[in-house]
Amino acid sequence: MNKQLVSYKSIDILIKVCPNTKILIYPADHPSSHVSNTNVCLTSLVLSFCRVSGKIETQNTIYTPLDDKAYKSFITNIDQP
């Protein structure tokens, strides 16, 4: 299955980014008509994430930070080991 690549503007602070959870994210360019690019959305389950790049892979989508502000949002919301 080819996953859609979507940029995100920020991550909501209510849920930490960690595997096997759904997170609240503000997408920038999600192509689905069911997803608003102006409001927060709930992702499918997170499969993995990369602390270095800010990339988040969920069951359905791969999210990458839109800019440095988005990356900083990611860093402050990841589940620390």
The band of 79, judged by pLDDT with boundaries at 50, 70 and 90, is confident
Q: How far apart are CA 78 and CA 33, in angstroms?
A: 28
Q: What is the pLDDT of residues 7-44, one digit of tens each?
A: 999 999 888 999 999 999 999 999 999 998 999 999 99
CA dihedral over 51, 31, 67, 25, signed as positive or negative:
negative
**Taking a C-beta distance cutoff of 8 angstroms, is the pair 58, 46 a contact?**
yes
Q: How far apart are CA 27 and CA 1, in angstroms?
A: 21
- pTM reported for the whole predicted model: 0.93
Q: What is the pLDDT of residues 40-53, one digit of tens each?
A: 999 999 999 999 99
**Taking a C-beta distance cutoff of 8 angstroms, is the pair 51, 71 a contact?**
no
